[in-house]
Structure 1
Amino acid sequence: MRQTLAIILCGTLIGTLGALFLSALKFADSARIAAINLAGTSSLPPWLAAVLVCLTGAAVAAYLAYRLAPDAPQTSLDRPGKETATPASQLGGLSANFAGTSLAVGAGFALGPERPAIQMGAIVGRTVCRILRLKASDRDIFTAAAGGAGVATMFNSPLGCAAYTVEAVLKRVDFKRSVIALGMGGISVAVARLISGNAINFPVGEISGVKPPQLLLCLLLGCLMAFFAKLHLQLIMVTSRGLISAMPRPVLRAALIGGLFGILAWHAPALVGTGEQMTQSILDGGLDLRALVIVFLIRFLLGPLSLAASVPGGYFTPVLLLGAAFGAMFGSVANEWIPMTDISPTVFALTGMAVALATVANAPFTGILLVIETTGAFSLSLPMTVAVLGAVAVGRLLHQPTLTHGLEQALNANPPKFM
């Protein structure tokens, strides 16, 4: 009975908190543009106003993470069931994740909401378990499921939430864990939809399936993306290790990187932030091949810089943009050079999103289910599966690490100092 009550309470609280968090992130994106425009009306040069706005937001976000939630940035440990190495209050950790990520997104960093949502969900799960006095053997399961429910609210993805919980966090599947993860994720998504609406994240309309011979192209896409994922992860590790070593004070490092993002935010505002609008533009077919290449290359570099800033935030949403851009590029080239292809680049963009998430998170089921649920492209489950299998196979051959493992090594080698 207490376990059922815990599932309901956790799901309701996480869904409510998640809906508020998403609203805060959307407000932060629009507030950045408004603040830059407002500051530009003063005697300051417009570009300098943009730099100051983004610099300030980044510095405050890094300060909150350093003081209240040192495991909030991606450059830290990544398991909601674990206690943070540096003690911090539950309320402080929740506040740092909520406000810090909003400020980081407002500063234009290429970050997503899922890691803070995992941590906030885990805080809710631990608190509910303590209040209801659940057994110690159940607390880790409920805490992990609560973290997964946080992911579910960010992407409207209850099945993806359950997959993430058992695949990437608990790394073990049984009936009890599956029911807790599904129940908590389903309730949290239902509550979030009740508050913020019932729309999927990336609507794509009706998508036709892929013919069996064309699945070879999906397999090729997955194999190619595995190489780029390996390169991207190496770039993230090198960038994080280098910048953390050169500038060990996280607030100063975040401020300087925020200033760079401010310059880009002034000249090309569509290229900064979480990237959700750009992802939707790619899925709508609004970018030609040249624009896709530019977007892919710029975001390929912005991600490592954002993660090296040690501000609260995750990387799922930016990775989805990279996957969509690479897949759309692949589809455009395939349609031009390979006879009888005749597949919409949107199909490859969606497939690329699933591959990108699966390879970076080292979670194949999560990548496929999350993209299917966030786009409604259920007809592409087979090509996504084929592409992800190819990417996972190549990734194993390349000994590809997960994103978090590489960043743990970078952070542990250079412990941060304040300011």
Structure 2
Amino acid sequence: MNKYQHTLEKLENNTAKRSIALVIEGALIGVLAGLTAVLYRYCLTYAESGLYAVLNFIRGNAGVTALWFAALILMGCIVAKIVKWEPMAAGSGIPQVSGEVRGYLDQSFWRVILAKFTGGTLSIFGGLSLGREGPSIQLGAMVAKSYSRLRNYDKTTEIGLLSCGAGAGLAAAFNAPLAGIMFVLEEIHHTFDRTMLVAGLIATVCADFVAKIFFGQSAIFSFTTSTLALRYYWLLALLGILLGLAGAGYNFVMLKMQAFFHRLKKIPKEIRIAFVFVISGILGLTLPQVLAGGHSMIALLEHGKPELSMICILLVVKFLFSAVSFGCGAPGGIFFPLLILGAYIGAIFGNLSIHTLSLPNDLLPQFIVISMAGLFAGIVRAPITGIVLITEMTGNMHRMLDIAVVSSIAYIIANLLGSKPIYTSLLENILNKQTELEIKESAEKVLVTYVIPFDSPVCHKKICQIDWQKNTLVASIERDGHTITPKGDTEILPGDLLMVLIGRQYYAADYAAYEKLING
């Protein structure tokens, strides 16, 4: 371990300084990522407004309609060229950030930012059923990476800043700072690091403040919910089961659709994506509500009273078109569209429950809101993020128990069905399509933290009894507010925070090995 001695001494001297610097720079990253996400949000808002303006203009005019379809084909070809130029800009962006944090990917920040802005804006203007939230997370992370490279920071600091930027991007996209940091910890890091929690929270709060300057302080959703009597809580259990099944089904269809488009690789990507743009054009003339992110569908539930048959039609078409839009590889996320699907499942379930059990009509928004969180938990498998996200997006804390019940059940059902979290599966697909990342030999070490769960296979084992990777060193253990210098006979306990030094060259493989070792 002599080769690590200098690094370990430096670590002990600089850990406190690093934590303070990360917190301070987290605020700066929050502002920069927030401004980037705000600009992206503006681009997509104007693109969606322009889309519906065009659809209103061409209605009933065959000649202009033909020109619009020609424009859609052209936009599809341009988006395909953009994705071929920068493949990491395809899709959501969340798996790419997760892969970057784990050392599997090394994205070109300026290419991703440029491609995501142009490709994402064109995709929404073309009507594809994609969201802004995943791209905002990726853009925030890439802004943080550009700052890290500008300052020539080490990999450990860069990972911390990437996480701050990712959380800030989500916070600015949804006006949800707590959900931003929870998503980073729960979905990207899969661990609760105190320093990351504080730095990320500051970044997300700053990003949310920036977004509120431009978009105001009102909640994203304006549903007025009522209280569901406790004697009807069995309905929440049924709804949770339904959403767990729907979440597993959603993941299955999304991955199959992505695989289907991949099997068509002999057909030029320009034709594949342009074909989806043409489908968008047809839907724009027949069922325009399902286009783009789905804001018009939410507005219909918030301010209108659509018939149950129309709700069912919109749900099915939105689901299928979202699968096609995402499967073709265009830049854009699934975050907001899946919330729309959850809302419509809740609307159907609520309508049936109200009419069958003679419940008050004002309970319908309650079912809509909690179903968004439930489907999110079933698909993404991040229930805490879902609970916090929907609470922040509605500005209503009173429904947290209902949301938690449905989200927990949906999470359990999806797990029992063996459905993997969607972003985990998407990252695996990305890694399967690319060659192994080559990393130059380097003496640099990366500091990684792991929280030991109560059921971890390494619990109550001594350091010397664990099969550690040869290129790593357990640098310190934080326990009950105290820092322990580990020795061979040091016992690992539940709740310990392990700080592990990993050689930069072996970071990706060792990171994955330790996640499996610690979490089982």
- Partner Cα separation in structure 1 for residue 331 and residue 156 of structure 2: 30
The answer to whether the 8 Å contact 2:132/2:173 transfers is: yes
- Partner Cα separation in structure 1 for residue 158 and residue 63 of structure 2: 53
Opposite residue 280 of structure 1, the aligned amino acid is A
Correspondent of 2:188 among 165, 169, 173: 169
Shift of residue 324, structure 1, vs aligned partner: 0.4
- Partner Cα separation in structure 2 for residue 336 and residue 230 of structure 1: 28
Query: Within 5 A, what are the aligned runs for 1:27-106?
Result: 27-36=46-55, 44=63, 46=65, 48-74=66-92, 77-80=95-98, 82=100, 89-106=108-125
| 1:235 and 2:250 matched | no
Shift of residue 74, structure 1, vs aligned partner: 3.7
| 1:308 and 2:327 matched | yes
Opposite residue 374 of structure 1, the aligned amino acid is M
Shift of residue 141, structure 1, vs aligned partner: 2.1
- Partner Cα separation in structure 2 for residue 407 and residue 80 of structure 1: 10
Q: Encode CA deviations 1:14-43: one digit per residue, 9 max, x unaligned.
A: 111111111111111122233456667987
- Please name the residue that 1:348 is paired with: 367
- Partner Cα separation in structure 1 for residue 222 and residue 359 of structure 2: 27
Shift of residue 343, structure 1, vs aligned partner: 5.8
Shift of residue 250, structure 1, vs aligned partner: 2.6
| 1:210 and 2:247 matched | no
Opposite residue 356 of structure 1, the aligned amino acid is L
Report which structure shows greater RCO (CA 8 Å, sep ≥6).
Answer: 1
- Partner Cα separation in structure 2 for residue 122 and residue 238 of structure 1: 28
The answer to whether the 8 Å contact 1:125/1:143 transfers is: yes
- Please name the residue that 2:296 is paired with: 277
Q: Which has the larger radius of gyration?
A: 2
| 1:327 and 2:346 matched | yes
| 1:396 and 2:412 matched | no
- Partner Cα separation in structure 2 for residue 252 and residue 412 of structure 1: 25
- Partner Cα separation in structure 1 for residue 394 and residue 191 of structure 2: 27
Q: Helix, strand or coil: the match of 1:70?
A: helix
- Partner Cα separation in structure 2 for residue 213 and residue 78 of structure 1: 45
Query: Within 5 A, what are the aligned runs for 1:14-25?
Result: 14-25=33-44
Compared with structure 1, are the counterparts of its residues 44 and 340 closer, same or farther at alpha carbon in structure 2 (3 Å cutoff)?
A: closer
Q: Which has the higher mean CA deviation after the structures are superposed, 351-360 or 337-346?
A: 337-346
Shift of residue 211, structure 1, vs aligned partner: 2.3
Correspondent of 2:244 among 226, 250, 264: 226
- Partner Cα separation in structure 1 for residue 89 and residue 95 of structure 2: 6
Equivalenced residues, count: 414
Opposite residue 213 of structure 1, the aligned amino acid is R
Opposite residue 119 of structure 1, the aligned amino acid is Q
Query: Within 5 A, what are the aligned runs for 1:101-116?
Result: 101-116=120-135
| 1:144 and 2:163 matched | yes
Shift of residue 8, structure 1, vs aligned partner: 2.0
Shift of residue 176, structure 1, vs aligned partner: 0.7
Compared with structure 1, are the counterparts of its residues 172 and 336 closer, same or farther at alpha carbon in structure 2 (3 Å cutoff)?
A: same
- Please name the residue that 1:375 is paired with: 394
Q: Helix, strand or coil: the match of 2:63?
A: coil
TM-score, scaled relative to structure 2: 0.74
Q: Which has the higher mean CA deviation after the structures are superposed, 393-402 or 59-68?
A: 59-68
- Partner Cα separation in structure 1 for residue 234 and residue 256 of structure 2: 34
Q: Which has the higher mean CA deviation after the structures are superposed, 293-302 or 341-350?
A: 341-350
Greater helix percent: which structure? 1
- Partner Cα separation in structure 2 for residue 24 and residue 54 of structure 1: 18
Q: Helix, strand or coil: the match of 2:100?
A: coil
- Please name the residue that 1:360 is paired with: 379
Q: Helix, strand or coil: the match of 1:379?
A: coil
Compared with structure 1, are the counterparts of its residues 274 and 210 closer, same or farther at alpha carbon in structure 2 (3 Å cutoff)?
A: same
| 1:265 and 2:287 matched | no
Opposite residue 255 of structure 2, the aligned amino acid is M
Long gaps (5+) in structure 1? none
The answer to whether the 8 Å contact 1:283/1:350 transfers is: no
The answer to whether the 8 Å contact 1:358/1:388 transfers is: yes
Opposite residue 280 of structure 2, the aligned amino acid is F
The answer to whether the 8 Å contact 2:77/2:271 transfers is: yes
The answer to whether the 8 Å contact 2:93/2:333 transfers is: no
- Partner Cα separation in structure 2 for residue 276 and residue 45 of structure 1: 26
Shift of residue 339, structure 1, vs aligned partner: 4.9
Q: Which has the higher mean CA deviation after the structures are superposed, 248-257 or 375-384?
A: 248-257
Correspondent of 1:125 among 141, 144, 157: 144
Greater strand percent: which structure? 2
Cα RMSD over matched residues?
2.5
Shift of residue 381, structure 1, vs aligned partner: 0.6
Shift of residue 216, structure 1, vs aligned partner: 1.7
- Partner Cα separation in structure 1 for residue 54 and residue 247 of structure 2: 35
The answer to whether the 8 Å contact 2:109/2:145 transfers is: no
Opposite residue 230 of structure 1, the aligned amino acid is A
Shift of residue 406, structure 1, vs aligned partner: 3.6
